[in-house]
């Protein structure tokens, strides 16, 4: 569904991404694993069209989209749920949801309402509160709203940039559970996330990105078992015995149970 080929991009005179080749299939979660500044957010922004590609290609369903505007990419089926949620606290929950369908001018009111019902099915807390200001929601609920807003665009490829950022551990686990469930709806999901352990627990495959280059890739469970990856990104060693590490391991085990039950 979604692929990049020899993709390079950056800011100003600096090239951040170098020769990136990734693929994401329908009904698959692919995780991007890497430290802060590795290029994860730059990659999803380039795929979404917020940054121009300096070289290479981005394709959706086999068709090149790297020359299209961000709005045109949304209409083709690419949706970015941005880092930090970027919901509008002064607008109602319903108004935030409607913004997700804004690019498609052909939708009538009935179609928008049907989309809203469908987008909020995984997040049943939203519609009963749709007339409340978005700012009344907790951080985790606002992340649910941000994802539901993205689903309003009827995406084929869903780009999730740091969806667990700033959330309490219990809410992080819930957000990852919901993301895992979205796979069943056939989306191609690219998950850019600093929480490597839980990303690998729910994803099918993963790419490790370092200094703007893909340095490893493979089946998520194999990468999760890699001693080198564990030392760099999973906190194994000096942190595995502390309370935070114990919570992470317990949450990962629960996510694996959810995956096994699929």
Confidence of residue 217 (pLDDT cuts 50, 70, 90): very high
Q: Is the pLDDT of residue 255 over 90?
A: no
* pLDDT at position 106: 87
Contact by Cβ (8 Å): 233, 198: no
Query: In the predicted model, what is the mean pLDDT of residues 97-114?
Result: 91
Which stretch of 12-21, 63-72, 142-151, 226-235 has the lowest confidence by average pLDDT?
Answer: 226-235
* pLDDT at position 226: 83
* pLDDT at position 239: 37
Query: Tens digits of per-residue pLDDT, 107-128?
Result: 999 999 999 999 999 899 999 9
Q: What whole-number distance in Å separates Cα of residue 63 and Cα of residue 57?
A: 10
Contact by Cβ (8 Å): 123, 147: yes
Confidence of residue 257 (pLDDT cuts 50, 70, 90): low
Q: Is the pLDDT of residue 242 over 50?
A: no
Q: Is the pLDDT of residue 20 over 90?
A: yes
Which is more confident, 7 or 228?
7
Query: Tens digits of per-residue pLDDT, 165-187?
Result: 888 888 888 899 899 999 989 99
Q: What whole-number distance in Å separates Cα of residue 111 and Cα of residue 26?
A: 24
Which is more confident, 253 or 38?
38
Confidence of residue 254 (pLDDT cuts 50, 70, 90): low
Q: What whole-number distance in Å separates Cα of residue 242 and Cα of residue 133?
A: 39
Q: Is the pLDDT of residue 251 over 60?
A: no
Q: Is the pLDDT of residue 224 over 90?
A: no
CATH 3.40.50.300 fits 2-88+153-260, yes or no: yes
DSSP 172-196: HHHHHHHHHHHGGGT-EEEEE-S-H
Query: In the predicted model, what is the mean pLDDT of residues 52-78?
Result: 96
* pLDDT at position 155: 94
Task: Output the average pLDDT for the chain.
Answer: 87
Query: In the predicted model, what is the mean pLDDT of residues 92-111?
Result: 92
Q: What whole-number distance in Å separates Cα of residue 144 and Cα of residue 123?
A: 7
Confidence of residue 249 (pLDDT cuts 50, 70, 90): very low
Query: Tens digits of per-residue pLDDT, 132-170?
Result: 999 999 988 999 999 999 999 999 999 999 998 888 888
DSSP 137-168: S-HHHHHHHHHHHHHTT--SEEEEESTTTT--
Q: Is the pLDDT of residue 54 over 60?
A: yes
């Amino acid at each position: 569904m979604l692929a990049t080929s020899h993709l390079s991009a950056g800011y100003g005179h600096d090239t951040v991404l170098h020769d990136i080749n990734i693929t994401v299939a329908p009904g698959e979660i692919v995780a991007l694993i890497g430290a802060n500044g590795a290029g994860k957010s730059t990659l999803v922004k380039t795929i979404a069209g917020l940054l121009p590609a300096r070289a290479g290609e981005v394709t959706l369903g086999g068709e090149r989209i790297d020359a299209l505007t961000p709005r045109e990419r949304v209409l083709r089926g690419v949706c970015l749920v941005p880092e930090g949620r970027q919901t509008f606290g002064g607008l109602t929950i319903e108004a935030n949801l409607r913004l997700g369908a804004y690019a498609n001018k052909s939708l009538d009111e009935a179609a928008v309402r049907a989309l809203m019902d469908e987008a909020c099915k995984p997040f049943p807390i939203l519609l009963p509160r749709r007339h409340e200001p978005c700012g009344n929601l907790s951080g985790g609920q606002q992340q649910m709203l941000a994802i539901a807003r993205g689903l309003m665009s009827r995406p084929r490829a869903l780009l999730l940039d740091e969806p667990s950022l700033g959330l309490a551990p219990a809410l992080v686990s819930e957000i990852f559970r919901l993301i895992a469930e979205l796979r069943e709806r056939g989306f191609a999901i690219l998950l850019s996330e600093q929480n490597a352990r839980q990303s690998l627990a729910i994803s099918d495959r993963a790419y490790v990105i370092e200094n703007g280059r893909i340095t490893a890739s493979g089946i998520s469970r194999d990468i999760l078992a890699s001693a080198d990856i564990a030392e760099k990104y999973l906190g194994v060693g000096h942190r595995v015995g502390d309370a935070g590490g114990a919570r992470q391991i317990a949450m990962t085990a629960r996510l694996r149970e959810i995956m096994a039950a699929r």
